[in-house]
Structure 1
Amino acid sequence: RECGSDWVSISVLEIIEKNESNSAIIRHLGDKETLKWIKFSSIAWIHDESGFYYCRYPAVNDSNPKFTADGTETNALFGHGIYYHALGTTQDEDRLIVRASEESATWLFGCNVSECGKWLVISVYESCAPKNQLWIVDLSKYFNRESDHIVKIIDEFHAQFGFIAYEEQENCFILSTNLNAPRKRVVRMHLNVHLDSTSNSDVNAVPLFRMNDIISERTSDVLSSAQIVNRDQLVTVFRRDVIDILQLFNLRNGELLHTFELPDLGSIDQIHANSLSQIFTFQFSNFTTAGISFLVDLSHSSSTPSVTQIAQINVPHINPSSYQTEQIFATSKDGTSVPMFIIRKRRNRITENTYTLNTTSHTLNTPADTLNTPADYLNTPA
Structure 2
Amino acid sequence: MKIIVDAMGGDNAPQSTVEGSVLAARELGVEIVLVGQEKAILSCLEKVKSDDVAGKIEVVNAPEVIDMCDSPMSVTKEKKDSSLGVALRLLSEGKGDAMVSGGNTGAVLVGSTMYVKRIRGIRRAALAPILPTDKGGALLIDCGANVECTPEYLLQFAYMGSFYCQKQMKIASPRIGLINNGAEESKGTPMIKETYGLLKQAGEAGRLNFVGNIEGRDVPFGMADVILCDGFTGNVLLKTYEGVGLYFVGELKKIFFKNLGTKLAALLVKNGLGALKKKMDYKEVGGAPLLGICKPVIKAHGSSDPRAFKSAIRQAVQYAESGIIRDITENIEHMTVSAPGKN
Q: What is the TM-score when the length of structure 2 is the normalising length?
A: 0.27
Greater strand fraction, Structure 1 or Structure 2: 1
More helix per residue: 2
Larger Rg: 1
User: Which is bigger in relative contact order (C-alpha 8 A, separation at least 6)?
Assistant: 2
TM-score, reference length from structure 1: 0.25
